[in-house]
Structure 1
Amino acid sequence: MDPRIREHAEVIVDHSVDLSEGDDVVIDAHPVAEDLVVALHELVADRGANPLVVQDRLGERYQRAFLRNREEFETPGHVEALYDAMDAYIAIRGNANVTETSDVDPETNAAYQQAQQPLLAERLSKTWNLTQYPAAANAQLAQMSTEGYENFVWDAVNKDWDEVREHQSQMVDILDPADEVRIVSGDTTDVTMSVAGNPTLNDYGEKNLPGGEVFTAPVADSVEGEVLFDKPLYHQGREVTDVYLDFEGGRVVDHSAGKNEEVLTEVLETDDGANRLGELGIGMNRDIDRFTYNMLFDEKMGDTVHMAVGRAYEDTVGEENEQNDSAVHVDMIVDMSEESRIEVDGEVVQRDGTFEFEEGF
């Protein structure tokens, strides 16, 4: 076994979920990630915890078969009971075919996601971690060799996360007490939003692995302006390009996409909260230096910001503010490397990807 797999497992168990004796942990993984699952079992055993492997959320062929043969969905009570009983949840991305569900109707996917919402809420209420195994199919999607993708993933995952936390805390200190944020990129993106009263979180590899962002939630009805997400979105096995959203009073009032616009439309029409922003994130991990069609990595890239339509994370919403609720949470990325700036309460804090606390600002 590649020693980097064991190091990856150690980061998950020791840093991300910090398992204790007697903990019941669910590991959701495709068979292509078997080596990482094996390494996790060794460490789980050392800590006296109890593992159970499922292939629920991250399934492929059988999930496609289910979705293509059913139109109405209900929340599965037995899965909800499992999530209620567990102490920790580890989800490992890794695919045999990244486009397996690309011929499932977007409307069916939206209905399925709505039925899954209580499961999502239960998972997010527990200790959880989402990470990536460098499977060949994901390497192919990233247009990389398998070896090159392995190096890319493990360089991004196996690092000094305390050092990352310290660096990113400088941006947290700027954003956390702020009232208003403005994002400008070229002549295609100019959007403002209030973040007043909403906490800013420092993602340094605990819930998402790799980490490398700071993020918060906009005040639900405050978003105004337009955004062109110039990095592609890969959703439901389809590539959606040049996503354009126009916001008024916090809601999307106009949208378009250069490719697969119907996928975007179905996302925005999933439920009442799907056409409002649930997250503003600022990418700060410069070890992620290329776009790979994998949002777990792409949203962390340095010189980017991302915004998610749909569900806001509970921890990013202050007690006095409304949490945007939705069955979806779909991130999209704006390149901030050129002709771009982030303003916080009227002050420029990032220009062309460089922060005010970095050399060359």
Structure 2
Amino acid sequence: MTYDAERHAILLAEYCIAVQPGDRVLVAASTLALPLVEALHRTLLQRGARPVVRLSYPNQMEDAQRYASDDVLDTLHPSDLEDARAFDASIRILTPTAPDLDLDPQRAARHRASLAPISPSRLHSRWNLTLYPTEYGAQAAGMTLPDYEAFVAKAMFLDAPDPVAKWGEVRAFQAQLIERLSRADEVRLAAAGTDLCLSVRGRSWSNSDAKRNMPSGEVFTAPLETSANGTITFDLPTLYGGSVVRGITLTFQDGEVVDATAEEGQDILNAALQTDQGARFLGELGIGTNVGIQHPSMNILFDEKIGGTVHLAVGQAYVENGGTNTSAVHWDMILDLRRGGRMQLDGEDFQVDGRFVETTAR
């Protein structure tokens, strides 16, 4: 199928944020996403909402990180926080663009730290992060633009007669996973270059059914902060601050990263882990379930949801899962269990080669 911005907009408004008459809704995107922004603006107005559109130019964030004075880079103006609190819901639209390879990763990390207080996840109960397919996004994924648009549509179930019903199926399947995961204490991940144990005892699991990320398809929790011990090698590349990082290996001792290497992007990895004290501890363990996404596209919004993968995030934990780790960083790193990996719960196999062994897969 071809990508349909109108269909995407309706799903975002009606399903993801459940818009209500009178809601003041922030729509933030770059000018590259204008077709979706226009469709979303109309859709919100038709439902009685008060949309506020904030457009940026491509690479505007990178310019801020390069040219801002130290004061502007490191601090948030009080009015920015007041403005962010004034919305009932927010939708942020990602538009993949070429990374700025000359950007100082330390300055980028400082800027992200200053913006942390206005993160939608900290201010709103209704927020969504989505993506509009761009030419660069297609190139990064190794696809033509029409193929990439079809990939995005399939990942969001926009090709289904009833996308909302499809996301309901995902929610029901993931509820089965959570029933078993909620009884677990120790999680062990084993694969090439990986033997890591951590505890999730007493932590709640979230059923990510695309209300907050579109697309989605994952269950996640916050590991006990001092429980991770061992080594993990993430075999799928990621982008952080617009830069590619590959072949990350982290070694944990009592929850803290004590050694970190990358085959590509070592300076980016070092800068992220030095952002603050919490950046060296885990904030998330997630399990991807979206079988509509079969291969990486160099975009974490999609790649962490690939069915048969798990991901760990260093940095900020989700308070609703019981996590206490705080950081300006939240960086998801992905391990593909389909390549001979195993996930065990209290010594029992839960996933082998990316397939669930205790729950019937869709």
TM-score (norm 2): 0.93
**Structure 1 segment 209-288 matched on structure 2, within 5 A:** 209-288=214-293
Could you tell me how far 1:5 is from its partner in structure 2?
1.6
> CA contact under 8 A between 2:120 and 2:127: conserved in structure 1?
no
Measured against aligned partners, the alpha-carbon deviations of 1:43-87 in whole angstroms (never above 9, x if no partner) come to 21121110011136xx54333332212352211322211111100
Match of 1:326 in 2: 327
Could you tell me how far 1:124 is from its partner in structure 2?
4.7
Distance 2:326 2:286 in 1: 18
Could you tell me how far 1:36 is from its partner in structure 2?
1.0
Structure 2 counterpart of 1:289, one-letter code: Q
Q: Which runs of 5+ in 2 are unaligned?
A: none
Measured against aligned partners, the alpha-carbon deviations of 1:297-354 in whole angstroms (never above 9, x if no partner) come to 000001110000000012111xxxx510000100000010132111112211111111
Tell me the number of residue pairs that the alignment of Structure 1 and Structure 2 aligns. Answer: 350
Residue 138 of structure 1 aligns to a residue in which SS? helix
Residue 306 of structure 2 aligns to a residue in which SS? coil
Residue 9 of structure 2 aligns to a residue in which SS? helix
Match of 1:201 in 2: 206
Measured against aligned partners, the alpha-carbon deviations of 1:3-59 in whole angstroms (never above 9, x if no partner) come to 722111111111110010110000011111111111111221121110011136xx5
Distance 2:234 2:66 in 1: 30
Residue 29 of structure 1 aligns to a residue in which SS? strand
> CA contact under 8 A between 1:168 and 1:214: conserved in structure 2?
yes
Match of 2:169 in 1: 163
Distance 1:71 1:260 in 2: 26
**Structure 1 segment 126-165 matched on structure 2, within 5 A:** 126-157=125-156, 158=158, 159=163, 160-165=166-171
TM-score (norm 1): 0.93
What is the root-mean-square deviation of aligned Cα atoms in Å?
Answer: 1.7
Match of 1:16 in 2: 16
Q: Note closer, same or farther for the CA distance 1:170–1:149 as it changes in structure 2 (3 Å cut).
A: same
Q: Note closer, same or farther for the CA distance 1:236–1:122 as it changes in structure 2 (3 Å cut).
A: closer
Distance 1:297 1:218 in 2: 22
Measured against aligned partners, the alpha-carbon deviations of 1:272-311 in whole angstroms (never above 9, x if no partner) come to 0000010000011111011100000000001110000000
Distance 2:348 2:147 in 1: 40
> CA contact under 8 A between 2:121 and 2:127: conserved in structure 1?
no
Q: Note closer, same or farther for the CA distance 1:197–1:39 as it changes in structure 2 (3 Å cut).
A: same
Could you tell me how far 1:241 is from its partner in structure 2?
0.9
Structure 1 counterpart of 2:288, one-letter code: G
Measured against aligned partners, the alpha-carbon deviations of 1:101-132 in whole angstroms (never above 9, x if no partner) come to 33210110111111111112665533100001
Measured against aligned partners, the alpha-carbon deviations of 1:152-206 in whole angstroms (never above 9, x if no partner) come to 00111123100111111111111123211111113x1111111111110111110
Structure 1 counterpart of 2:10, one-letter code: E
> CA contact under 8 A between 1:71 and 1:108: conserved in structure 2?
no
**Structure 1 segment 1-361 matched on structure 2, within 5 A:** 4-55=4-55, 60-70=58-68, 72=70, 73-95=74-96, 97-99=97-99, 101-120=100-119, 123-157=122-156, 158=158, 159=163, 160-186=166-192, 188-317=193-322, 323-357=324-358
Residue 55 of structure 1 aligns to a residue in which SS? strand
> CA contact under 8 A between 2:316 and 2:326: conserved in structure 1?
yes
> CA contact under 8 A between 1:84 and 1:122: conserved in structure 2?
no
Structure 2 counterpart of 1:208, one-letter code: N
Structure 2 counterpart of 1:203, one-letter code: S
Residue 279 of structure 2 aligns to a residue in which SS? coil
Structure 1 counterpart of 2:175, one-letter code: S
